[in-house]
Structure 1
Amino acid sequence: MIKFNKKIFLGAVTLSLCFSSCSDILEEEPRAIYTVEYFNTESGVNQGVTALYRHLRLLYGNGYFMSNCQNGTDESTWGQSADGNFKELDMSGNGNINPGTFPTSMIWGSVFPYINTANGIIEKGPAFGIAESLISEARFFRAFDYFMLVQTYGGVPLDLGSGDLAFNVSAVTTSKRNTVSEVYTKAIFPDLLKAIDNLPASPRVTGGVTKNVARLFLAKAYLTYGWWLQNPNNIPTYPEATRTDPSGHDAQWYFQKAYDVALEGINSPGPYALQPTYYDINVGSNDRNNECMLYADHTASSTYYNEGDPTGFGSGWAPDNFAAWMQTWNYPNIKSSSSATTWTAVSPVQRAAAQSLGRPWVRMCPPIGVFKNTFADKTNDSRYDGTFVTTYRGNWEKAGMGNVTLYNANNLPVQPGGAILSFLNDDSQSVSYPSGAGQSGVGAGTLTGRADWVVAPNGISRIVYPGLWKIGTYTTLDPNGLGYPNAALTRPFNVAKFSEFYFIAAEAAVKGASGAKSARDLINVIRARAGKWKFNNAQNVTYIADNSASMIAATPSTITIDYILAERSREYYGEFYRWYDLVRTQKWQEYGATYQIGGTAYGDHTPQTVTRNIQKFHYLRPIPTSQLDAMSMSAEEKAKYQNPGYN
């Protein structure tokens, strides 16, 4: 766990990273000490810029941050092996979010040292002749961090001890929170506008920030602030302040700005573009494609630069990328028989470093509604197949068992690579389930004539459910064997995608912005792409199809916020967006109120309806106990510092 230190506002970052002057790759070198004195050098300032990229790893790809961003929404609930880090965020009676809840504290505990690093770069960089284009990378990250903070906690401190947005070198144990409008108008908007003016159109280094990366976050910040000003469901803000803009603009002005900036991003794409198919975005062999604008990067080529052994045992902690483990169930427990006459159980699906498999943790799972409602169209729309693992295939030949025939459901023969367990698309067929785990070992059922075990949508439970293919393990190490499934992923974890320009502009249009493209025009660009197939993961075959016309025809004539939220879930499921989408649009209580899921035991296929207790004060996360304990303030002052509802 990240411990929030009394000196959090000192800004002495304990890990720094450095540039290589002869490479266009952002090389990262861990340092034991990164002192304020070292920061008073040109080299220290340059290394501080690289550290800002590294700090993305503290959150993106972190499974506990995934819990913060998804549990308690319509996308996720707790899985069979979950602890309080997952159950508390579900809001369903297994503990409550409180100031000591770890996942909700992660942003607060991670970003303030890097905000101060950005303050130092912006303040000291000009004296060393450092170009504004490089300093604007720091401006971007300062705005990025403050945007995460203000969405999560409300108003936060702009003064870390030496004045608003000033580099602080003194340990400070007092703090004052600025209002939401001050954080946006004094920090986020000015920094992003300056960054857009000065960042290059193409990245300085692989994965570096650009004008369009800054545009994307400015458009999203305008959109989010517009919602905050409008406040349609009377959600409380903190620190308490009138919801008025210091510049006198209303919500509609900001919705229009969000639309205009997003359209500028679409019309001036620079090196970015939509990938031709949804599969192309997410398949591991095409990582770092030009739809992915910003990511927390990793590498399989170096333990040193990766900050973790690509072939070792992953720590399950930052800076590792291990989010995919959270929603991976214990598929190695699936059983087949090595004998056609006497059931002799063996494990046909071995743990492997493959995008559809990986390391099981069973901490989170998707509610049944994800499959029946969000991804109702599994035929035309490729995003269901491009998001989930719905077929688990045999790989026993890679585990020393030999290329032999095994016997599976209905005692039918299966070969390596064959379907061992499948999740059905709908509930139209009458599945015969066993009592308990059954021969399958995991309580899966049978259909007459099929060799694969099957589970229908209504049979999905907290212990058996489709895994997440899109963010799953991918590696080129040991391509002919099982690989290193217990190692952390060396894939980049995407933070921002070019496609979101279309969603931001469409949402702004629904909120009243006007321009050349309607909300339906914009959403149909994404839906048309979703109708194009290149590969079918469920069948494990090349599949060329263009269902774009059907997808466009199915788009309603009037686009609503609800429709945009549904499309956002189909596009970004499992990518740390959902809680923030529902909080921005003030739909969390509506969307997260109830869900259905089976129980925690193999063979439990009875959907249970679960009710969540989501109150309006929950739209802000609590200020962490570690922060309050670190401050030299009275109990009354600390109580006023905390968000209401959490004292």
Structure 2
Amino acid sequence: MKPIQIKTMIGLGLMMVFSAGCSKILDEEPRSIFTPDYFKTEAGVKGGLTAMYGHLRNIYGQAYYYNSCITGTDEATWGKDADGNFKDMDCSGVGSIQSTSFPSSILWGEAFPNINTASGVIENASAVGISNTLVAEARFFRAFDYFLLVQTFGGVPLDLGSGELKFNINPVRTSVRNTVTEVYTKAIFPDLLKAVTDLPVTARVTGGVTQTLARLFLAKAYLTYGWWLQNPNNIPTYPASDRKDPDGHDAGWYFQQAYDVAATAIDNPGSFGLVDTYYDVNWAGNDRNKELLLYADHTESSEKFNGGSLTFGSGGAPDNFSSWMLTWNYPNIRSSGISSVQREAAQALGRPWNRMAPTIEVIKNTFADKTNDSRYDGTFTTVYRGNWPKGYNPASSAPASLVNANGMSVVPGDAILTFLNEDNASVTYPAGAGISNVGAGILPGRADYVIAPGGISRIVYPGLWKLGPYRTDNGTGLGQPNAASTRPFPVAKFSELYFVAAEAAVKGAVPKAGKSARELINVIRGRAGKWRWDNNGNKAKAEDNSAALIAATPATIDINYILAERSREYYAEGYRRFDLIRTQKWAELSATYTICGTAIGDHTPVTITRTITPNLYLRPIPQGQIDGMQMSAAEKQAYQNPGYAN
């Protein structure tokens, strides 16, 4: 097993579910003594609910889990400084996904304790007088975790030791996996249907679970289960079972349900809705906006409630360090021999980690329209601007200007290095590191160094602006660039209701008037055409290209088009693997990619081939779970997903 620099995962066996679930509550409010009787008190039930929100921080923003949802898809590959945790996920021959691969164990280790906590809340709530609306929050989270698990591992246990969906208080060292059908029909659908009925339209607390959120996940679960029943590419399931719905419904019935639930949520948004511009959805100054239905929250006002240090990043959960992964080592840029772009706790910059990289196809194809569509500009940092005075004390002692490309002068705020929107034959790249120290090129008459889309590599590439850090306490300096981000990590957005309904319509659901697949997608594309700010130019940009984007939408859209739109909308937010697994398009869309190498100054694209076999559609059951069970070797092997050795 490869060494990992984050907390050791212990207690993955189901016999540890109860104690691990309790520890989540202890994390929120430390107690010297904790017993199962605590759940029979009002404080215990409410503590359990608080823990459910807290457990999101151990999954979302946790960069190794984040990597497992993106690396190996058509959105990203491994970056120059990647270790095996990232290379394993790429399926390109530099590593392999095994039962000991750390990223596969994260969800298993976090979801089951929370499921048990949710069951404890559900069972004890009525005895202590907790309202149905609060119980519905627990039902939502239990379904939420089971939905993540079934998409990742296939069928998983509903019985953690005390019976199906029962609160377990006894150590258990055996386990039986339920089928995919059972997980959906016994756990996910009933809990979400009840949650939709009992949850409030308006959240009881900021960021709390609502009816709209439950409808989104119910619609997504219906959609995903419909695809699973249909199984267009004959991807195997495990545990092996017939793909027959116990209620006799076919895939088409579930697609219609997905459409109807999503359309109802769109028509009854409560306090939610689409933000006016794509930029403002992702601009850190507008966090927790009306489009965010659920997020793993953080704060810069308290280390206790942030869940991690405010001055340095631990590199482990519950820190939100996802934005480091697609950040290259931009402080290596040199102008007049000094680092002209300093590491700064600002959304466009942040801490370099260089573990993941976008492919050339992402830059050229996914975001082909960089003129009308604001989403490329609202996703990536493509211009790195001088900030060197912030690294001097006092700032007035810093050089007023520096020499940059073509011997031309630059001042603070000027572009130091720009990733061009299009390839340009006039770009020349000096050998090796060149005068820029990062192998960038030059264009006649420009003071900024440049790199064309076809020249991005595993070591130098556009950074991920949309998830970048944000602090209000930087003052006039660089702030805390080595700390994890205190921004909330987005888990669910209102905009996804449009995609779910559109996908269901493409799969045969009968749409409502004004809500065909094309009309739904064009709501999102229309918004993408509206500009308020130009990140590349660092200036206001009042421009509306909605009509052009809407006109460019095909008259008839298919699944590949929806997937392309989903990638433009949610690039690198962690959706991609689930999208490709659900639609069984992973191998089709991700089998090859192009990127330049790991050496500074390498601008020669190489096409890489991935080997994506059907068994990889399911992740392996973590080895810690297998080892912790008192079962025979044959039973343990049967517990594991096919294609993975114990």
Q: 1:91 touches 1:612 (CA, 8 Å); kept in 2?
A: yes
Say whether 1:38 aligns with 2:38.
yes
Q: What is the match of residue 3 of structure 1?
A: 10
Per the TM alignment, residue 595 of structure 1 is displaced from its structure 2 partner at its CA by 0.4
AA aligned to 2:595 is: I
Query: Aligned partners of 1:147, 1:201: CA distance in 2, in Å?
Result: 22
Query: Aligned partners of 1:126, 1:635: CA distance in 2, in Å?
Result: 42
Q: What is the match of residue 507 of structure 2?
A: 511
Q: CA deviation digits over 1:587-641, x for unaligned, max 9?
A: 0001110000110010000001100010001000000100000000000000100
AA aligned to 2:241 is: A
Q: 1:328 touches 1:468 (CA, 8 Å); kept in 2?
A: yes
Say whether 1:76 aligns with 2:83.
no
Q: Secondary structure at the match of 1:8?
A: helix
AA aligned to 2:60 is: Y
Q: What is the match of residue 445 of structure 2?
A: 449
Q: CA deviation digits over 1:408-437, x for unaligned, max 9?
A: 000100010000000000113421001111
Superposition map of 1:547-586 within 5 A = 547-586=545-584
Q: 2:48 touches 2:117 (CA, 8 Å); kept in 1?
A: yes
Q: What TM-score, normalized to structure 2?
A: 0.96
Query: Aligned partners of 1:372, 1:80: CA distance in 2, in Å?
Result: 21
Q: 1:79 touches 1:365 (CA, 8 Å); kept in 2?
A: yes
Q: 1:29 touches 1:305 (CA, 8 Å); kept in 2?
A: no
Q: 1:144 touches 1:217 (CA, 8 Å); kept in 2?
A: yes
Superposition map of 1:54-73 within 5 A = 54-73=54-73
Pick from 597, 617, 620 the counterpart of residue 619 of structure 1: 617
Query: Aligned partners of 1:171, 1:519: CA distance in 2, in Å?
Result: 49
Q: What is the match of residue 322 of structure 2?
A: 323
Per the TM alignment, residue 38 of structure 1 is displaced from its structure 2 partner at its CA by 2.1
Q: 1:354 touches 1:473 (CA, 8 Å); kept in 2?
A: yes
Superposition map of 1:301-380 within 5 A = 301-310=301-310, 312-337=311-336, 345-380=337-372
Q: What is the match of residue 472 of structure 1?
A: 468
Q: Secondary structure at the match of 1:379?
A: coil
Query: Aligned partners of 1:12, 1:93: CA distance in 2, in Å?
Result: 36
Q: What is the match of residue 420 of structure 1?
A: 416
Q: CA deviation digits over 1:244-272, x for unaligned, max 9?
A: 00000000000000000000000000010
CA RMSD of aligned residues (A): 1.2
Q: 2:11 touches 2:17 (CA, 8 Å); kept in 1?
A: no
Q: 1:29 touches 1:304 (CA, 8 Å); kept in 2?
A: no
Say whether 1:394 aligns with 2:386.
yes
Query: Aligned partners of 2:469, 2:213: CA distance in 1, in Å?
Result: 26
Superposition map of 1:94-173 within 5 A = 94-173=94-173
Per the TM alignment, residue 17 of structure 1 is displaced from its structure 2 partner at its CA by 4.8
Q: 2:594 touches 2:607 (CA, 8 Å); kept in 1?
A: yes
Q: Secondary structure at the match of 2:593?
A: strand
Structure 1 alignment gaps of length 5 or more: 19-26, 338-344
Per the TM alignment, residue 306 of structure 1 is displaced from its structure 2 partner at its CA by 1.1
Q: What is the match of residue 22 of structure 1?
A: none
Query: Aligned partners of 1:157, 1:479: CA distance in 2, in Å?
Result: 51
Q: 2:505 touches 2:517 (CA, 8 Å); kept in 1?
A: yes
Q: What is the match of residue 295 of structure 1?
A: 295
Q: 1:387 touches 1:470 (CA, 8 Å); kept in 2?
A: yes
Query: Aligned partners of 1:31, 1:609: CA distance in 2, in Å?
Result: 55
Q: Secondary structure at the match of 1:176?
A: coil
Q: What is the match of residue 630 of structure 2?
A: 632
Superposition map of 1:144-293 within 5 A = 144-293=144-293
Q: What is the match of residue 640 of structure 2?
A: 642
Q: CA deviation digits over 1:324-360, x for unaligned, max 9?
A: 00110000000101xxxxxxx1110000000000000
Per the TM alignment, residue 16 of structure 1 is displaced from its structure 2 partner at its CA by 4.1
Query: Aligned partners of 2:35, 2:82: CA distance in 1, in Å?
Result: 39
Query: Aligned partners of 2:60, 2:455: CA distance in 1, in Å?
Result: 31
Q: Secondary structure at the match of 2:607?
A: strand
Q: Secondary structure at the match of 1:533?
A: strand
Q: What is the match of residue 5 of structure 2?
A: none
Q: 1:368 touches 1:595 (CA, 8 Å); kept in 2?
A: yes
Query: Aligned partners of 1:359, 1:313: CA distance in 2, in Å?
Result: 10
Q: What is the match of residue 491 of structure 1?
A: 487
Q: What is the match of residue 606 of structure 2?
A: 608
Per the TM alignment, residue 37 of structure 1 is displaced from its structure 2 partner at its CA by 3.0
AA aligned to 2:566 is: R
Q: Secondary structure at the match of 2:631?
A: coil
Query: Aligned partners of 1:368, 1:307: CA distance in 2, in Å?
Result: 36
Change (3 A) 1:619 1:150: same
Q: 2:323 touches 2:469 (CA, 8 Å); kept in 1?
A: yes
